[in-house]
Structure formats: structure tokens, C-alpha cells
Amino acid sequence: MPLSNREFELVERLRKSIDQVIIGKSKEVKLLVACLLARGHVLIEDTPGVGKTALARALARSVACAFKRIQFTPDLLPSDITGLSIFDQTAQEFVFKPGPVFANIVLADEINRSTPRVQSALLEAMNEYQVTSDGHTHGLPAPFMVIATQNPTEFIGTYPLPESQLDRFLMRLKLGFPDPQEEFNILVSRRQGDPVLVLEPVLSTQEMLHLCQLTTEIRIDDSLTKYLVEIAQRTRNHAAISTGVSPRGTIHLAAASQGHALVEGRDFVTPDDIKGVAIHVLAHRIRIRSDSLVNPPTPAQMVQQILQEIPVPQ
């Protein structure tokens, strides 16, 4: 069924709401919205102070959903995230007290400042949308999205995310520094205080769920499905890559392409949609075989090279 103008307008309204406070990062905002529409999670990695947390907060305030922020620190415990069972003296039984992960949008701020044991507390939630505690499974609300921020791994006090954790993020984004004019506009926008605080919701929870469902109905031609498979296969067979993209990565690439198409105002996927999200979906999932190369490329460069080598379907 073709999408209506009303549905495209809802997506555009959400994007413009975030653009009001995240100045000069329209591309990254589009990718974040595409990730939300595809029911995925996003990892925002960059140096401190470039707006990672502000981007997550702007998205959360633009959607009328439950929002929780978890500040990851070295002394954080898994139960501080998922919740725990407490003995109720009145009922004479253990009662589960949900943790902050029980929200629609969860900001995992500076996720790599905690140990891998704490990071793993999010694995089940991100993949199966549920939390298991003391043998009991508790479902998470819908929609559910984790927006994690992290500092580069070479920074003091950080722990690298394990591969199993990275693979659960649909995208990894980087913001980068603003140019002089953008930085000037940022300073002007903050003269009256934090602009994120004045944002009002532009989408209800039901509208967000409706858009997420519509994203799954965005058409992908069989020729483009084969194109997706060929990209994934090339990462697994390339001599310079030691670990290629998992099938989950291929599924995420297809879903991100559908989300990107909807953000661009179309009800069908084009090759440009796939190319527009491929680096952000695939680069953090592959490992370069550095032992056999003098100047090994970065994962992003390798994905770009593969995209250039594979013929685009007509």
C-alpha cells in the first residue's frame, strides 16, 4: 500500500525537530531517524563535547515516549540497568523492580566507561526486547531503542565494546567537529539556555509505532536483495578482512535501507539508500587482517571499496 503524504510529513516533522538543536548535522540526524524507524539501536562514537548526548536527548524529547538515561561508570552493576528482585515483607515474596532499561528510548551514556560485564546487561534487551531476572522474563515496552554514546577507545578509562555488543547496534555514527559558521550558530542558539529543554513532542507513541510498522513495508526489489547479499558475501571472502558481516548485519542493512527510504520520502528502496547507510551499518562489524598488509585500510574505507567494486543493479 502506498504511503500517504501525512506519513511522510510525520517523519519530516521529527527530523526538523531534532535539526533545530543539532546544528549542521542534518545527515547524522537523518541516519538516526532512519535507525529509529527500523527499530534499531545506534552507537554514537566521538570525542567528548561534540553533541552526542544532546542528539540523543533531542530525539527523546521529540517523541512522546518514556525516556531514561543511564550514566555508565566503572562502579555500575548489571542490576542497576535491568532491575532486581526485592523481598516484599507484606506479600512475603520477591517482587521485581524494573531498572531504567524499561523505557521506550534508553540513553546509555558513555557506555564504554563500564566493564564488559556491565555492558553485557544490555545484550538480551537489545536483541530480544526483554529482560530475564531470577528465571523470569519481562518484556520491554514498544518501541524500544538504545542510543549509546562512547568516547574513542584510546581515551583513558574506557573499555572496548565486545563484538557481540557491537553487532547489536544497527548503526554506528560519528558527529565530528562543526565548521566555524556552525559553531557560531551553536553559540547563538544557546544564549537563552539549552535549546533541547524547549523541545516539545512532535510524535505520539502510537504514531511512532505506526511509522515503524510502515518501514517494514517499504519495498525492496529482488535485484536489490541480491545486491545486499553480495555486499555481505564480499566482506566474508575478502582477503583483507578477517571477520566479515554476520547475517544479522545483512538484515540490519536491509532494515536501515528501508528506514532511509522513508526518511527520503519514498516507499521503495533504491541503491542510493543502501549506499547511504552501508558504512554506518557494516564498518563496525568487520575486522581488518592487519598482519598481511603494510598500510591496512580502515573498516569504513574497506566497505567503501567493496561498494565501488560491486556493480549496482539497474
Note the pLDDT of residue 154.
57
pLDDT per residue as tens digits for the range 6-47: 888 999 999 999 988 888 889 999 999 999 999 999 999 888
What residues contact residue 191 under an 8 Å CB cut-off, 6+ apart?
none
Give the model's confidence band at 195: pLDDT under 50 very low, under 70 low, under 90 confident, else very high: confident
Question: Over 90: is that where the pLDDT of 163 sits?
Answer: no
C-alpha angle 299/300/306, rounded to 5°? 90
Mean pLDDT, to the nearest integer, of 179-200?
A: 87
Longest dimension (CA), the chain: 68
Strands 93-98 and 42-45, bridge-based pairing: unpaired
Mean pLDDT, to the nearest integer, of 182-194?
A: 87
First to last CA, the chain: 24
What residues contact residue 57 under an 8 Å CB cut-off, 6+ apart?
107, 196
Question: Over 80: is that where the pLDDT of 53 sits?
Answer: yes
So what's the architecture of 218-309 in CATH?
A: Orthogonal Bundle (1.10)
pLDDT per residue as tens digits for the range 60-90: 889 988 889 999 888 888 889 998 888 778 8
Note the pLDDT of residue 66.
87
Highest mean pLDDT, choosing among 39-53, 102-116, 156-170, 272-286: 272-286
Question: Over 90: is that where the pLDDT of 116 sits?
Answer: no
Mean pLDDT, to the nearest integer, of 90-113?
A: 87
The pTM score is: 0.89
Q: What is the CATH number of domain 5-190+200-212?
A: 3.40.50.300
Q: How far apart are CA 23 and CA 208, in angstroms?
A: 24
Cβ 81 vs Cβ 98: under 8 Å: no
Question: Over 80: is that where the pLDDT of 153 sits?
Answer: no
Note the pLDDT of residue 233.
95
Question: Over 60: is that where the pLDDT of 1 sits?
Answer: no
Mean pLDDT, to the nearest integer, of 193-216?
A: 90
Note the pLDDT of residue 157.
61
What mean pLDDT value characterizes the chain?
88
Specify the domain boundaries for CATH 1.10.8.80 within the chain.
218-309
Place of cell 555514527: 173
pLDDT per residue as tens digits for the range 227-249: 999 999 999 998 888 889 999 99
Name which residue leads in pLDDT, 268 or 53: 268
Specify the domain boundaries for CATH 3.40.50.300 within the chain.
5-190+200-212
Name residue 68's beta-bridge partners.
Answer: 106
Note the pLDDT of residue 229.
96
For residue 303, how many other CB atoms are within 10 A of its CB? 25
